[in-house]
């Protein structure tokens, strides 16, 4: 089940079903999970790698009361030790300023 926003674009029809249109985006993890300035670093080699950009799929959006936009995004975060498993996040509200549309 996909989180439905008032701004979700749908494709399909009543016979074959409707599905949300997915837009490819990059999620800037460094900005989404920004560390406080001067925060001490304690490396955990098996922890999540919250640096760089990862690919995601935008399928909706919501405005905040202050006029900022939040995208509804599915994306994956890898682990720092390079294992194949990833943490798959579904229907996450992500601020638009950390998203970049992919070509």
Asked whether 96 and 84 are in contact (CB, 8 A), the reply is: no
**Residue 5 resides in a domain:** no
Where does the pLDDT of residue 4 fall: very low under 50, low under 70, confident under 90, or very high at 90 and above? confident
Residue 2 belongs to a domain: no
Tell me which DSSP letter residue 24 carries.
E
Domain count, the chain: 1
Counted residue by residue, the chain has a size of 103
Cβ pair 48, 17 in contact under 8 A: no
Q: Is residue 1 part of a domain?
A: no
Q: Mind listing the pLDDT tens digit for each residue in 10-34? A: 888 888 888 888 899 999 999 999 9
> What is the pTM (predicted TM-score) of this model?
0.85
Q: List the domain range (segments joined by +) for residue 67.
A: 10-101
Mean pLDDT across 43-56: 94
13-21 long-range CB contacts below 8 Å, 24 or more apart?
20/59, 20/60, 21/59
């Amino acid at each position: 089940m996909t989180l439905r926003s008032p701004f979700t674009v749908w494709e399909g029809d009543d016979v074959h079903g409707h599905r949300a249109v997915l837009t490819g985006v990059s999620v800037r993890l460094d900005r989404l999970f920004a560390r406080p300035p001067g925060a001490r670093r304690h490396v955990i080699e098996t922890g999540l790698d919250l640096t760089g950009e990862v690919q995601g799929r935008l399928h909706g959006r919501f405005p905040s009361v202050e006029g900022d936009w939040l995208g509804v995004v599915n994306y994956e975060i890898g682990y720092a030790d390079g294992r194949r498993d990833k943490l798959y996040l579904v229907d996450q509200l992500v601020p638009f300023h950390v998203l970049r549309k992919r070509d």
